[in-house]
């Protein structure tokens, strides 16, 4: 699970995250929403241990990300919006490399590589150099690499941007399967329809502050008309935007 208590982070005079508190239990898909600069990526990077908060505490599966960072990293995985791959490795070599970093080897690692190659239908290109991959191929490989060590917490920044409908549907189903297996998933996305479709809980950030938080049903109830997450999002953002000074 993910536990964030009173976390703040600033860059110079810019407050990226202000006194954020979140509790995300095992088996839940949680979405962070908000306009550019709202603090979504900063929040995820603090949970992943890539940024240190100025105040507050971040814990994953009971481990303090700052004080026990190695144990925290053992149980987490992070897929950024632009995953880095080694161009001169094949997809299979890349998965093998990542698995060995997490001390997987032998038949256990081979089994995981075969599993995700099959799950993401990568058989036709898994032995090609990753420099030849399309965006969708790279995203499938990056998510596979994140799952190769069987993390308990998976964080993803814009995981479905640029994916074709077939790949997007496949990725969403993998997310649901992971959640059913007890994995905590935290995703940041600008695609509100995706968040409404797969997330159980959402938090809307604006200028580093939480302006709305709750289940998708609760958030959608703040919209108009059809009660979609998109309608509620723009209404909430509008309510939270200060009126321009005359």
In three-state secondary structure terms, 123 is coil
| Entry pTM | 0.90
pLDDT at 240 over 70: no
* Residue 216, pLDDT score: 87
State the Cα angle at 93 between 130 and 186, rounded to 5°: 75
* Residue 243, pLDDT score: 52
What digits encode the pLDDT tens for the residues 109-133? 999 999 999 999 999 999 999 999 9
pLDDT at 185 over 90: yes
Instruction: Pick the range with the lowest mean pLDDT from 14-28, 77-91, 159-173.
Output: 159-173
* Residue 241, pLDDT score: 56
Alpha carbon distance 213, 179 (integer Å):
20
CATH class, 1-75+154-208 region: alpha beta
pLDDT (average), residues 169-181? 94
Express as a percent the part of the chain with pLDDT over 90.
Answer: 76
**Every domain of the chain and the residues it spans:** 1-75+154-208, 85-150
pLDDT (average), residues 74-100? 94
What digits encode the pLDDT tens for the residues 213-229? 999 889 988 866 567 89
* Residue 66, pLDDT score: 92
């Amino acid at each position: 699970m993910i536990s964030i208590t009173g976390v703040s982070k600033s860059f110079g005079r810019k407050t990226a995250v202000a006194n954020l508190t979140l509790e995300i239990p095992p088996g839940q898909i949680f979405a962070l929403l908000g306009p550019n600069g709202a603090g979504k990526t900063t929040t995820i990077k603090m949970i992943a241990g890539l940024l240190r908060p100025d105040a507050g505490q971040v814990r994953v599966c009971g481990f303090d990300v700052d004080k026990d960072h190695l144990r925290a990293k053992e149980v987490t995985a992070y897929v950024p919006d632009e995953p880095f791959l080694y161009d001169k490795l094949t997809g299979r070599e890349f998965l093998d490399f990542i698995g060995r970093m997490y001390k997987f080897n032998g038949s256990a690692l081979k089994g995981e590589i075969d599993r995700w190659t099959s799950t993401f239908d990568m058989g036709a290109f898994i032995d090609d150099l990753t420099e030849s991959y399309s965006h969708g191929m790279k995203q499938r490989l990056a998510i596979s690499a994140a799952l190769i060590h069987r993390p308990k917490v998976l964080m993803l920044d814009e995981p479905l941007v640029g994916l074709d409908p077939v790949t997007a549907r496949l990725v969403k189903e993998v997310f649901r399967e992971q959640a059913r297996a007890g994995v905590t998933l935290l995703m940041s996305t600008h695609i509100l329809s995706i968040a409404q479709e797969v997330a159980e809980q959402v938090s809307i950030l604006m200028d580093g502050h939480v302006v709305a938080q709750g289940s998708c049903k609760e958030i959608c109830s703040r919209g108009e008309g059809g009660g979609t997450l998109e309608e509620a999002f723009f209404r909430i953002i509008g309510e939270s935007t200060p009126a321009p000074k005359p």
